[in-house]
Amino acid sequence: MLNLLPATLRFLLGSILWLDFSQPPAVLPARTPLSFQLRHEHALTNDSRVIFSNVDPSFAADSFVMSTSNIQTHRPQSAKAFHSARLRSIRYDQSEQVLWDTANVLGPNVEERETLLTLAKMTSNAYTSSTASDWYTPEGWNKSIPFGWEPDADGIRGHIFVSDDNSTVVLSIKGTSAGWITGGGGPTVRKDKLNDNLLFSCCCARVGPSWSTVCDCHQGGSKCDQECLERSLMGENLYYSVGVNLYNNITYLYPHANIWLIGHSLGGSLASLIGVTFGAPVVAFEAPSEKLAATRLHLPSPPSTQHITHVFHTADPIPMGTCTGIYSSCGLAGYAMETSCHLGKVIRYDTVTQLGWSVDVRTHSIVQIIDRLLSEDWTQEGQEGRTVPEAKADGEDCVDCFNWEFGSFKGGS
């Protein structure tokens, strides 16, 4: 219902409905394993309504089990303060102090390969029906679960897994359905591509003179109107706004639960943007860099974003920010994936140097991550005793779109 209201009114209602973080979820001892089952499927209808489909427990014959660790996260003290700071930044380009609560919550143990593998399988299933042959299952999983979302629904979709004790919810978000990468496609391709080109391009997907841009902010040469760019991301039917609405719906369903977000590709970037908004733990696989999008969305910046973990490998040009230019694989398919700076920390698998992989956009598929990357412990000189590479933040010298000039050009000389 919130989707039907103007953005300003939705901000106001969001401040009323925002989950009260003054009493954070109880923190269990670190390394406590949690067992999850599929409880719901979520989707966006063609008229931008978030819908849910419940999954009968009798269909979920087995569980996804993973280890946990304590994670420090920062959450706005109130939605009112968060939205006030964001609106002030949008309208006046001025900063406003947001007071943050520091909380220790139970999150996934991202230093363990088996945990990442389990989360990757849960993420992969967001692309498919549980009756399909490519559904990843724990042993004993019953694959006759009905597919809840409408087959022709053309927006964001995924699954909601809940721990046996209802203490933790895992929200998975589907990434881009693109046949040129995954061999698939489907009804969400058009909206997925629009969101990709708005979020991850430098200027409205203006890669070359022959390109049709997704907004009218290009002002000739390498000039782009900043205010126009920011407005283009504010649409109520675009995925970030829908994702915030989805998260609020889940807090209504599970008001006392700790929520994790996971996703692959576009779904991973959306999970990160929602996670930085609400201070929720995030694991994103092969996600395009979203730091520039967070700035353009005027999301208030918390003291730290270390609750967000990106997992990708160096042979995938999309998260690496190298799938650029008219004649790149992305460019030839009409995608402007031009950013390279991530929020949070990055578990970067150097598959090019260590394993001899060739840089190829086809390695972007989540199936490649599951079957080739996470199937065995990672071994690397200097990181003995680890099963995955050490997580590190992108360097401070990471700059997106350095060859563009952004400013107020519309209507100017």
Strands (E) in 109-174, as ranges, are: 157-163, 168-173
Count of positions (residues) in the chain:
413
Distance CA(335)–CA(337), nearest Å, equals 6
Our CA angle for 102, 7, 337, nearest 5°, is: 75
The continuous run of DSSP H or E covering 246 comes out as: helix 239-253
What are all long-range contacts of 179-186, with beta carbons under 8 Å and residues at least 24 apart?
180/329, 180/333, 180/361, 181/361, 181/362, 181/364, 181/365, 182/127, 182/365, 182/367, 184/127
Task: Give every CB contact of residue 389 below 8 A, 6+ residues apart in sequence.
Answer: 347, 348, 349, 350, 378, 380, 383
Distance CA(173)–CA(242), nearest Å, equals 11
Tokens of 13: 């209602």
Diameter over CA atoms, the chain: 67
Distance CA(391)–CA(109), nearest Å, equals 12
Q: Which of 265, 269, 272, 289 is catalytic?
A: 265
Active site includes 358? no
Residue in the block written with tokens 């009804």: 187
H-helix segments, 93-152:
113-124
Catalytically active residues are 265
